[in-house]
Structure 1
Amino acid sequence: MERKLLSLNIGRANLHVWKGKTENSAIGKKGIEEAVLKKNGFIGDYVANREFHGGPERAVCLYPYEHYLLWEKEYNQTFRMPAFGENICVENMLEKDVYIGDTFSFGDAIIQVSQGRIPCSTISKHNRIDSLLGRIVETGFTGYFFRVLQEGEVTDKSNLTLIDRKQENFSVLNGNMLMFHDRKNKKAIEEFLQIEELAIVWREKLLRMLEG
């Protein structure tokens, strides 16, 4: 089954003024028709905050389209893609339905789900809604990241097709709930850590939870 791509986006880091403070961010991405996807991300796509973005295990950021409808209803305003700084916005790929390690063909590329997204305050600032970050964390509707298994060209017509599923115990949403809300669930964290495809940065954070 193909998942429909609704937008393909890249962007450079730029200075933004939020509440009188100047910050450097690449959240303001723009839609494009085609791009080359490499191990570290799309050529022409830049990262400002490397704590939350970038690197081979965060090469592609996806945000599910259905959340746009939810936030528009909740906040009574329009969110225009890519409002959440995502590289791709896709239908029918909610966090609850996608699992760590899921592998998809995407144009000439092959990509694999590596981790949920740990969102930062830039999302609230960019959309000028102070409570948005908190609601994203509360719901676990964060979007998620992919690593690139095979580099290649993609276009805004390149839908995603699931080609391999490694496990069905931990969806992205399950992982988000552990990371944000269930940090003392030692048994579940230990099970989650058994997934080989889980990103190193998440593995390190979860190990610190166990030690703490």
Structure 2
Amino acid sequence: MDNREIIYLSKGLPKNMVYKDEAYESGIWKEQCEELFVGFDQINGDQVANPEYHGGSDRVVCVYPFEHYAHWESVFGKTLEPSAFGENLTPIGMREDQVCIGDIFQIGEAVLQVSQGRYPCSTINKRNNNNLLLKRIVETGYTGYFFRVLEEGKITADSQIKKLDSHPEQITVSSIHHLYFHDPSPSVEVIEKIVGIEELAPKWKKYLLEKIEKLPG
């Protein structure tokens, strides 16, 4: 029985902000909404500020598991705002260790496929006024992840989340994160297996192949 549920939907346009006297522009500041129209390349009314590192067809819907909010609030003793990590979709029952690259879900009218984990950046610190957050996210692997869009459509706050297909390789988002960030001597065969998953976003294939190149010998 599926035990998945939407807690928040969020979207937003890039904003000019200031953090510690430094100006920056980012799309991480999103606002709660009752529905999203999810297209193949972006969500209506949702844009990124730096397309080199954000957005594109492999990163249309940003997901951050709601379970992590309680963890961070306990660690830092501070209540977090909705979409504190710049995500579009905040669900329960869909942690990084519960979803695999290539898994397919229907949420409302949209059919979505897990494409890659999130490579977190320091804007998360700025968004939450917390210089320790990025480091702890990398340590824990509580990064969130992205969907590509297989079928466009509307998602509403009360839409059901249905798993349509489990990828046969069963490589979780969490396992790739820990291999990349925390395994000093990973198996080349394991990396090559992961890189061989067609559904994994090319950017992450590049990261993993670079890790092979850095291995001793």
- TM-score normalised by the shorter chain: which range applies? over 0.9
Instruction: Give the letter for the 2:70 counterpart.
Output: L
1:70 alignment partner in structure 2: 71
Match of 1:210 in 2: 212
Deviations 1:3-44 (A, max 9, x none): 100111110101010010000001110011122110112111
Distance 2:55 2:112 in 1: 15
Match of 1:34 in 2: 35
Asked if the contact 2:101–2:170 (Cα under 8 Å) also holds between the matched residues in 1, the reply is no
Helix, strand or coil at the partner of 2:58: helix
Deviates more, 1:62-71 or 1:35-44: 35-44
TM-score (norm 2): 0.94
1:151 aligns with 2:139: no
Residues 41-61 of structure 1 deviation map (CA, whole Å, 9 limit, x = unaligned)? 211101012233200000000
- Taking the aligned partners of 1:169 and 1:103, their CA distance within structure 2 comes to 12
Letter in 2 for 1:210: I
- Kindly indicate whether the alpha-carbon contact (under 8 Å) linking 1:111 and 1:150 is maintained by their aligned counterparts in 2: yes
- The structure-2 alpha-carbon separation of the partners of 1:188 and 1:114, relative to structure 1 and needing over 3 Å to count, comes to same
* Partners of 1:165 and 1:102 in 2: CA distance: 5
SS at match of 2:146: strand
Partner of 1:194: 196
Q: Is the alpha carbon distance of 1:197 and 1:183 closer, same or farther for their aligned partners in structure 2, counting shifts above 3 Å?
A: farther
Seen in structure 2, the aligned counterparts of structure 1 residues 109 and 73 have a Cα distance that, compared at 3 Å, is same
1:171 aligns to what?
172
1:97 corresponds to 2:113? no
Contact 1:65 1:90 in 2 (8 A): yes
User: Which stretch has the larger CA shift, 17-26 or 34-43?
Assistant: 34-43
CA-atom RMSD, angstroms? 1.2
Runs of 4+ in 1 over 6 A off after TM superposition: none
Q: Is contact 1:2–1:162 with CA below 8 Å preserved after alignment?
A: no
Tell whether the 8 Å contact from 1:183 to 1:209 is kept in structure 2 after alignment.
Answer: no
Q: For residues 165-205 of structure 1, what are the alpha-carbon distances to aligned partners after superposition, in whole Å with 9 as ceiling and x for unaligned?
A: 11354101001112212253122211211211100111112
- In structure 2, runs of 5+ residues without a counterpart are none
Number of the residue aligned with 1:116 = 117
Q: TM-score, normalised by structure 1?
A: 0.96
Structure 1 range deviating more: 167-176 or 95-104: 167-176
How many correspondences in the alignment?
212
